[in-house]
Amino acid sequence: MSTIINTNFNFPGQQSIYKGKVREVYTLENDLLLMVATDRLSAFDVVMPKGIPFKGQILNQIATKMMKDTEDLVPNWLVATPDPNVAIGKRCEPFKVEMVIRGYMSGHAAREYKAGKRILCGVPMPEGMKENDAFPSPIITPATKAEMGDHDEDISREEILERGIVSEKDYLVLEDYTRKLFQRGTEIAASRGLILVDTKYEFGKTAEGEIVLIDEIHTPDSSRYFYAQGYEDRQNNGEAQKQLSKEFVRQWLILNNFQGLEGQTVPEMSDDYITSVSERYIELYENITGDTFIKAETTDITFRIEKNVLEYLDSNI
């Protein structure tokens, strides 16, 4: 199966390209951004050597669906989706923080807790918790946004304000939007038999000064989900939770002695393993959205994207 790992388009009115860990962002004239979701896989802030079939399509389609499902709560950047891997929206100046919100003590929070830490990003975590227990109420644990290949870093609300990364006025809006989105995401997940465990949101400011949601939302790369059925029993029995997220990739990497640390080598991913990861992403798509996943044409993904985008720009710009 074909994948799209890198792009090098030259669209009409194109001004610049930014390549992130997974997405490639083209700045166009008229204050528009065109975002291509590639099939790259990132874990521990390291991009894996091989792509995952249909991953970009899955991320893009979940994100755009979730933006439409939350636009009554929080304004977002999205204008159109001319291709399964492409979103076009308003150009924004991104805030240099990721708003991470956690309803449960899992993943990074659990690893920090096991290491003996009881404060994460300035937020206390109660004593006596087990991995995957629910917090008394969701906690916001921001991270500074890293350039490609660098690690995101935990940061407290106080540090963000002290360092002037975000103004207090804007940060209060980011917190409010983060809690509203997480509540809606929790409700959507519950309606599909899932628990939204944790997630991250990114925001930007438009040329008009409006704060809007950007990038992805409630995708397997930005979020962690548990299956609701059997959650309590598994917790009571000390069993691992059945989950839908990228955590299964992280756990596989850990088992193969890789956590993105200096001197470590990314383990070889066999074709069978890559196929299994793709199947897990498809499973996640169908569970999160409630829709059957329809695979896009992958004979020549670059040609398909270029054709669909040019047709859209020709008709709308």
- Does 87 have pLDDT greater than 60? yes
- Does 150 have pLDDT greater than 70? no
Instruction: Of 6-10, 159-163, 265-269, give the lowest mean pLDDT range.
Output: 265-269
Overall residue count recorded for the chain in this entry: 317
**Where do you find CATH 3.30.470.20 in the chain?**
94-249
User: CA-CA distance, 35 to 78, in Å (whole number)?
Assistant: 10
Query: Which tokens in the block code for residue 190?
Result: 């519950």
Query: Which tokens in the block code for residue 6?
Result: 């890198």
Q: Give the percent of the chain with pLDDT over 70.
A: 98
| Cα angle: 302, vertex 307, 313; to 5 degrees | 120
Q: Three-state SS across the chain?
A: CCCCCCCCCCCCCEEEEEECCCEEEEEECCCEEEEEECCCCEECCEECCCCCCCHHHHHHHHHHHHHHHHCCCCCECEEEEEECCEEEEECEEECCEEEEEEEECCHHHHHHHHCCCCEECCEECCCCCCCCCEEEEEEECCEECCCCCCCCEECCHHHHHHCCCCCHHHHHHHHHHHHHHHHHHHHHHHHCCEEEEEEEEEEEEECCCCEEEECCCCCCCCEEEEECCCHHHHHHCCCCCCEEECHHHHHHHHHCCCCCCCCCCCCCCCHHHHHHHHHHHHHHHHHHHCCCCCCCCCCCHHHHHHHHHHHHHHHHC
Mean pLDDT computed over every residue of the chain: 93
User: CA-CA distance, 135 to 120, in Å (whole number)?
Assistant: 13
- Does 239 have pLDDT greater than 50? yes
* Residue position matching structure tokens 């802030």: 45
Distances in Å between the Cα of 28 and the Cα atoms of 11, 16, 17, 87, 147 are 8, 7, 9, 13, 21
Residue 79: the pLDDT is 96
Residue 1: the pLDDT is 65
- Does 222 have pLDDT greater than 50? yes
User: CA-CA distance, 271 to 219, in Å (whole number)?
Assistant: 24
Number of Cβ within 10 Å of residue 67's Cβ equals 25
Q: How many CA atoms lie within 13 A of 115 on its CB side?
A: 9
User: CA-CA distance, 72 to 68, in Å (whole number)?
Assistant: 8
The mean pLDDT value for 28-42 works out to 94
Confidence label for 146 from pLDDT (cuts 50, 70 and 90): low
The mean pLDDT value for 90-97 works out to 94
Q: Which numeric CATH code is attached to 94-249? A: 3.30.470.20
Confidence label for 248 from pLDDT (cuts 50, 70 and 90): confident
Candidates 3.40.640.10, 3.30.1330.10, 1.10.10.10, 3.30.200.20; correct CATH number of 14-91+272-316? Answer: 3.30.200.20
User: CA-CA distance, 111 to 312, in Å (whole number)?
Assistant: 45
Q: What is the pLDDT of residues 256-296, one digit of tens each?
A: 999 988 899 999 999 999 999 999 889 889 999 999 999 99
Residue 149: the pLDDT is 46
Confidence label for 308 from pLDDT (cuts 50, 70 and 90): very high
